Amino acid sequence: MTLAQKKQRLREEICHAAHQVAQAGWVAANDGNLSARCPDGHVLITPSGLYKGDVTPELLLELTLEGDVVSPGPLPPSSETPMHLAVYRARPEVGGVVHTHSPYAVCMASRKEDLTQRITMDMVLLLGGFVPCLPYLPLGTETLAQGVANVQSEAAVLLAHHGAVTWGRDLREAWYRTQALEAYCHQLWLQRQLFEEIPVLELE
């Protein structure tokens, strides 16, 4: 498979994931953004100002890690492009990044608390057992980008009053971690309604 064919496949994978994010109701209007690292080190990212359910391969933009647009589209790159690029620069092993505003993750992020209670195996296996929460940082800024890039987490971070960011070795793993994080936040919310003391998974 040629480099061009690999990039086209990545474009299709990003669109598929973007449509799934939209169908799940984890973005509204033009919220959220997704990206993937190409074999040559460039990054493909969703455009700004577009509902993720309407993203198509030709609308994605290709950029260098420094933010130079290599393959432009009719729309500008996501306003959170600095955050995605900062993650890729800080974590050479990362191949995909997903940012959503899913309801339960936003709810938990608004509490401004790190997620540490291991109530499911997914929390351990997919999220590394710990998801920190950053304080509110202005959207689309270098401050937010560096905050996310420097966070001590294997898989994800919550953004207070904003949303969540997950990453993985490829876009599929990042998307799986998005699902796992939202499910965990939902389960944690339910358990807080049901129990005075949340039962925690005990691992030997």
For range 164-174, the mean pLDDT: 98
Pick the more confident residue, 201 or 179.
Answer: 179
**CB proximity list for 178: less than 8 A, separation 6 or greater:** 21, 26, 98, 100, 102, 156, 164, 166
CA distance 3 to 6: 5
- What is the pLDDT confidence band of residue 192, given thresholds at 50, 70 and 90? confident
- What is the pLDDT confidence band of residue 118, given thresholds at 50, 70 and 90? confident
Quick one: DSSP state of residue 46?
P
User: Is residue 156 within 8 Å of 177, Cβ to Cβ?
Assistant: yes
Provide the pLDDT for residue 122: 85
For helices 171-194 and 3-24, what crossing angle results, to 10°?
Answer: 20
User: Is residue 97 within 8 Å of 75, Cβ to Cβ?
Assistant: no
Q: What residues form DSSP beta bridges with 69?
A: 63
For range 77-103, the mean pLDDT: 98
User: Is residue 146 within 8 Å of 81, Cβ to Cβ?
Assistant: no
Of the ranges 51-55, 98-102, 193-197, which one carries the lowest mean pLDDT score?
193-197
**Tens digits of per-residue pLDDT, 128-160?**
999 999 999 999 999 999 999 999 999 999 999
Query: Would you say domain 3-194 falls under CATH 3.40.50.720?
Result: no
Annotated active-site positions, please? 80
- Show the tokens assigned to 40: 């040559």
- What is the pLDDT confidence band of residue 120, given thresholds at 50, 70 and 90? confident
Provide the pLDDT for residue 202: 72
Strand ranges for 125-194 from DSSP E: 133-134, 156-159, 163-168
In this structure, the strands spanning 33-37 and 133-134 are: unpaired
Provide the pLDDT for residue 26: 97
CA distance 52 to 41: 24
